[in-house]
Chain A
Amino acid sequence: MAKYIGKRLIYMVITLALIATFTFFLMKILPGSPVASADKLSPEQRAVVEARYGLDKPLPVQYFDYMFGLVQGDLGISINQFKGADVTDVILSRMGPSAQIGFQGMVLGTVLGILLGMIAALRQNTWVDYTSTFVAIVGISIPSFVFASLLQYWFGLKWDLFPVALWNDGFMSSVLPSVALAMFPLATAARFIRTEMIEVLGSDYITLAKAKGASGSEIAFKHAFRNALIPLITVLGPMAVAILTGSLVVEQIFAIPGIGEQFVKSIMVNDFAIIMGTTIFFSVFLIVIILLVDILYGVIDPRIRLSGGKN
């Protein structure tokens, strides 16, 4: 197991280096520069600014400078979005709200989705099942920003239950964005669990469990649930991605001072260091999630105990 994780860590570093390289050169290919928008600057002033951020050096030098900094954990400094602030500090200070709504959304979505899927499977072809399927279809087909606007309108404006936007009311501010983010994981989990539960409930070992005298709930929770979870783990990775990309938009809509909101703005103003830093931060996050998912597989399904050691 330790050997396996070690191997995976090495792969993770390689993946990250590749992502950083690609993003770096893609950014450089794109037209425009962080200082391009500042029309008021004279050519001399612009040269001074470019020199200050190392933008005047040849591209390979800029690349190696950046990668060297990255290895030391230095993501550079913001050029124009947060003028001169350390990128790492910017990201860390913005992480709180994002992590909160992302985590709440993920947990809410998967837990509700699993419940919904379980109930649907156990009450197959009844109105409960049809309702659950409908919710799942709605959750997958309606984009999170549309859903977010609807939530704002009904729960924020009409019924005045939660703040419409802004991050100034603690937990209450986080409710609507979390719900908006939860829709996709909820729908995905419900669909996967329903299909898998129905399949598992028809399998031989469930019949054997029944033949042992197990009751309906024992069969559902002790025997079927764990087996039905396995395919859901597969989509946990994509779900985390959905939460991330969802948060880019949802944070904008709810005016949450999170990473997503700051990322979108940094792209608009072409703040090279912030874009790079956030991309790398997101990448690390995703790669770690994928590793956790792979480890979780082995925990839930003994047949997929990871290589690198017996049992």
Chain B
Amino acid sequence: MEKILQVKNLELSFNTQAGEVKAIRGVNFDLNKGETLAIVGESGSGKSVTTKSIMRLLPEQSAEFKNGEILFGGRDLTKLSDKEMQKIRGKEISMIFQDPMTSLNPTMPIGRQLTEPLLKHQKISKTEAKKVAIDLLRLVGMPKPELRMKQYPHQFSGGQRQRIVIAISLACNPKILIADEPTTALDVTIQAQILELMKDLQKKIDTSIIFITHDLGVVANVADRVAVMYGGKIVEIGTVDDVFYNPQHPYTWGLLSSMPSLDTEDAKLYAIPGTPPDLLDPPKGDAFALRSEYALKIDMEQNPPFFKVSETHSAATWLLHPDAPQVEPPLTVIERMKKFPGSRYYEGGAV
């Protein structure tokens, strides 16, 4: 499989008045061509910062790369000048944001907002750009695109606006599309439409997607692989089946247990106890140890390395060390693992 993007040992801090906030503390992942990688995690886990750092959209005054590299097309994006980045943004890598209500310029007709990246990155005339823009609107399912080109964002609904943002992001057939919680601000029926649209378009233009979300239901729907982030690090990464049916990290267990489902029998919804770590002064060992009932002594002292579970799956927890004691995951997780061939609770069948 061709690796289109490699993030290697990335560390990034924000310099604030209170001190250095270590927002990303050693993130490693690869993005393969044509795949969808979901990054999940709670607020403040560093998922948005990671993707914004790939696009270099963080405020230059405060955000600082401390270590590592982001390799794309043979170049390290952390070292490019702003001019060089401008040629990559919107052309090679583009982005969709969370809130379609605020991500379009309210005083510019959407036609101009659509043609802007085209005119910027491709050598085409205004009339050609307009034609492409109309085609793009049609592609994202906008009725009467010719008429709507002259309209302003407030004349569209939330779902339509997100379609427009998607059209803008796909204008130059980017190699990577970063979607930062693109469905969070939309209601559920529109969410489903937008997800379908994205899957559909991904096939058509063969782009790789990094999909940030905290909605595990969405992950199961769109992603090929999942990276679970916690406290500025990836704690578990694998295929959707790996992470959903054979999770290894106690944080992933907590996430999956707190996912409500229709057949959950006990009335009380599970929530992970405690609060996220303070990244001004991150804990020494496993950042999740303080909130985890499975924490070992070593978790408090040493950062766990990645242990391979299978070719596609690895997790950063000392529980996977050969000398670690066997622990029983939560019941809901065991139920899931029963369906996964290769897990120690496998009872036959397939996921």
Contacts and interface: CB of A to CB of B under 8 A. Distances in A.
Nearest to A227: B107
B86 A302 contact: no
Which of A211, A215, A223, A302 has the most chain B CB atoms closer than 10 A to its own CB?
A: A211
B86 A211 contact: no
B66 interface: no
B102 to A, nearest CB: 4
A209 B91 CA distance: 12
A38 interface: no
B154 interface: yes
Contacts of B107: 226-227, 300-302
A213 B117 contact: yes
Given A211-B57, A213-B87, A213-B120, 15 more contacts: A203-B102, A207-B57, A207-B97, A211-B89, A211-B97, A212-B89, A212-B94, A212-B120, A212-B168, A213-B88, A214-B90, A215-B86, A227-B107, A301-B107, A302-B154
Contact of B116 (A204, A214, A303): A214
Given A211-B57, A303-B152, A205 B106 contact: yes
A213 B97 contact: no
A57 interface: no
Interface in A199-221: 203-205, 207-216
Those 10 A-B pairs whose CB atoms lie nearest each other, nearest first: A213-B90, A212-B90, A204-B102, A302-B152, A213-B89, A211-B95, A204-B103, A212-B117, A205-B105, A226-B107
B12 to A, nearest CB: 17
Interface string B80-121: 001100111111001101010011111110000000110011
B165 interface: yes
Contact of A303 (B57, B89, B97, B106): B106
A197 B25 CA distance: 33
6 contacts: A208-B95, A208-B104, A213-B120, A214-B86, A216-B82, A302-B106
A205 B165 CA distance: 10
Interface in A235-271: none
B73 to A, nearest CB: 15
Contacts of A208: 95, 97, 103-105, 165, 168
Interface string A266-307: 000000000000000000000000000000000011110000
B55 interface: yes
Contacts of B82: 216
Contacts of B88: 213
Contact of A211 (B55, B108, B154): B55
B261 to A, nearest CB: 33
Interface string B168-180: 1100000000000
Contacts of A205: 102-106
Contact of B86 (A213, A300, A303): A213
A195 B15 CA distance: 23
A300 B108 CA distance: 10
Interface in B29-87: 55, 57, 82-83, 86-87
Contacts of A203: 102
Contacts of A214: 86, 90, 116, 120
A301 B121 contact: no
Given A212-B120, A227-B105, A302-B106, A204 B86 contact: no
A213 B169 CA distance: 11
A291 B150 CA distance: 26
Contacts of B117: 212-213
Nearest to B56: A210
A205 B113 CA distance: 10
A301 B106 CA distance: 8
Contacts of B83: 215
B95 to A, nearest CB: 4
A284 to B, nearest CB: 31
B153 to A, nearest CB: 8
Contacts of B87: 213
Nearest to A215: B86
Interface string B250-264: 000000000000000
A294 to B, nearest CB: 17
B89 to A, nearest CB: 4
Interface string B115-138: 011001100000000000000000
B90 A211 contact: yes
A302 B105 CA distance: 11
Contacts of A216: 82
Nearest to B112: A222
Contacts of B97: 204, 207-208, 211
A207 B88 CA distance: 15
Nearest to B120: A213
Contacts of B120: 212-214
Contacts of A212: 89-90, 94, 116-117, 120, 168
Interface in A143-193: none
A12 to B, nearest CB: 28
Interface string A125-149: 0000000000000000000000000
Nearest to B152: A302
B89 A210 contact: yes
B105 A209 contact: yes
B241 to A, nearest CB: 32
A302 B94 CA distance: 27
Interface in B189-218: none
Nearest to B116: A212
Interface string B1-32: 00000000000000000000000000000000
